[in-house]
């Protein structure tokens, strides 16, 4: 099966894990600190502006608490988003207000966001679909002018930039994912960024039971007496990362430039081979100054055939999918709105395989199969 996504792990990651095992400390420790520092450098911020967590989802949930978003507040987000975004909002008593998206990039435009703003809007949350930064600069400026928080779900965009600035750092809070399907894999895990380092200080405490200090050997070295005593400042839970995951993630981060280069070459090959294929629309070009992570490669097909195309490709050993189902159609969120651009895109878009292990031969196989299937359907 040619997978739509898969991790690229090797001997370097195994060696890093072996070192952690041999240290006899596999909890949160020096490897977590090193990973945080390396990631901070990668996105161009100071280490005190970031903290690791067990998932990106936890970063999104935590953003609600840090920004004191709750009952009576509205949060605008694109309907073409991952369910974790809307869950984080709704779970804290706030109302998800879904906005439309550009049907080609599947990112919200500034106009889409503005159309969804209500008097109760306290925050805007955006996803950079497939690694495309979208209109994040314009949306960030609008939010600053209106006194609205901006939260960036950068799970798709670990290497995306606009004029050299890392996506995820334009708003008040950014969140990244390191799960099995992402470009930087830490087995599982997440990272949260906050413009205000005091929020990260608070996030660290909430992520470890709300304790004012941890109780472990490193604390014992800094406290001569009764390092085991505790003081609780908030009612948190345990959502920290450990040294095993951090060691894997740190190695993966060093490989990220080569991962991006490979994905770029795969994208260029898809673009070239699919150019002029009847019924196929490839992703749009990037605006000047934008850098892509190449997390997704998607095509848009004539109305009414996408599902059949996916089924026939799967029968030929090619796994495709569609990300993300429009959330305003999910009954749990209680949305009663029509978002025609997102709805149209959701019925014709198909994600093709793209990952670091994909070969040129694999791409040729995917394209040949897609051409053959379409020839019988159009």
The residues annotated with a catalytic role in the active site are: 182
Q: 100: part of which helix (H) or strand (E)?
A: none
Q: For residue 337, what are its two tokens?
A: 């709105």
Instruction: Give Cα separations from 130 to 93, 224, 230, 237 (angstroms).
Output: 29, 50, 43, 31
Task: Write the Ramachandran bin of 245: left for phi over 0, alpha for psi from -120 to 50, otherwise beta.
Answer: alpha
Task: Report the distance separating Cα 45 and Cα 36, nearest Å.
Answer: 11
Strand 173-177 vs strand 297-300: parallel, antiparallel, or unpaired?
Answer: unpaired
Quote the Cα angle for 74-76-80, to 5°: 140
Backbone φ and ψ for 255, nearest 5 degrees, come out as -90, -5
Is the N-terminal amide bond of 258 cis, ω within 30° of 0?
no
Task: Report the distance separating Cα 241 and Cα 253, nearest Å.
Answer: 16
Give SS3 for 165.
strand
Q: For residue 65, how many other CB atoms are within 10 A of its CB? A: 17
Instruction: Give Cα separations from 28 to 172, 182, 233, 308 (angstroms).
Output: 26, 22, 20, 47
Task: Report the distance separating Cα 207 and Cα 196, nearest Å.
Answer: 17
Task: Report the distance separating Cα 9 and Cα 339, nearest Å.
Answer: 40
User: Would you say 348 and 300 are in contact if contact means Cβ atoms under 8 Å apart?
Assistant: yes
- Number of residues that this document lists for the chain: 378
């Amino acid at each position: 099966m040619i997978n739509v996504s898969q991790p690229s792990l090797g001997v370097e990651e195994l060696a890093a894990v072996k070192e952690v095992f041999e240290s006899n400390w596999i909890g949160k420790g020096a490897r977590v600190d090193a990973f945080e520092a390396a990631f901070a450098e990668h996105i161009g911020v100071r280490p005190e502006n970031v903290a690791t967590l067990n998932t990106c989802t936890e970063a999104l949930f935590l953003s609600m608490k840090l920004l004191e978003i709750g009952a009576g507040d509205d949060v605008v987000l694109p309907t073409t988003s991952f369910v974790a975004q809307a869950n984080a909002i709704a779970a804290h008593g706030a109302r998800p207000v879904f906005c439309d998206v550009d049907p080609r990039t599947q990112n919200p435009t500034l106009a889409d966001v503005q159309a969804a703003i209500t008097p109760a809007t306290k925050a805007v949350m955006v996803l950079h679909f497939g690694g495309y930064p979208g209109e994040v600069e314009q949306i960030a400026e609008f939010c600053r002018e209106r006194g609205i928080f901006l939260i960036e779900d950068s799970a798709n965009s670990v290497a995306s930039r606009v004029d050299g600035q890392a996506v995820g750092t334009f708003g008040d809070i950014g969140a990244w994912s390191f799960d099995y399907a992402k470009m930087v894999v830490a087995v599982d895990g997440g990272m949260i960024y906050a413009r205000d380092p005091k929020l990260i200080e608070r996030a660290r405490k909430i992520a470890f039971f709300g304790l004012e200090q941890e109780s472990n050997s490193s604390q014992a070295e800094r406290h001569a007496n009764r390092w085991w005593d505790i003081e609780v400042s908030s009612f948190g839970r345990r959502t920290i990362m450990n040294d095993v995951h951090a060691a894997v993630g740190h190695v993966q981060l060093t490989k990220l430039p080569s991962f991006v280069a490979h994905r770029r070459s795969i994208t260029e090959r898809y673009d070239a081979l699919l150019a002029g294929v009847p019924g196929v629309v490839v992703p749009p070009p990037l605006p000047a100054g934008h850098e892509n992570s190449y997390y997704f490669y998607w095509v848009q097909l004539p109305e009414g055939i996408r599902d059949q195309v996916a089924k026939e490709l799967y029968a030929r050993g090619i796994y495709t999918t569609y990300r993300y189902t429009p959330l305003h159609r999910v009954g749990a969120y209680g949305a009663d709105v029509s978002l025609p651009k997102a709805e149209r895109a959701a019925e014709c878009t198909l994600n093709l395989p793209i990952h670091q292990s994909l070969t040129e031969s694999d791409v040729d196989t995917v394209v040949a199969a897609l051409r053959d299937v379409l020839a019988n359907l159009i």
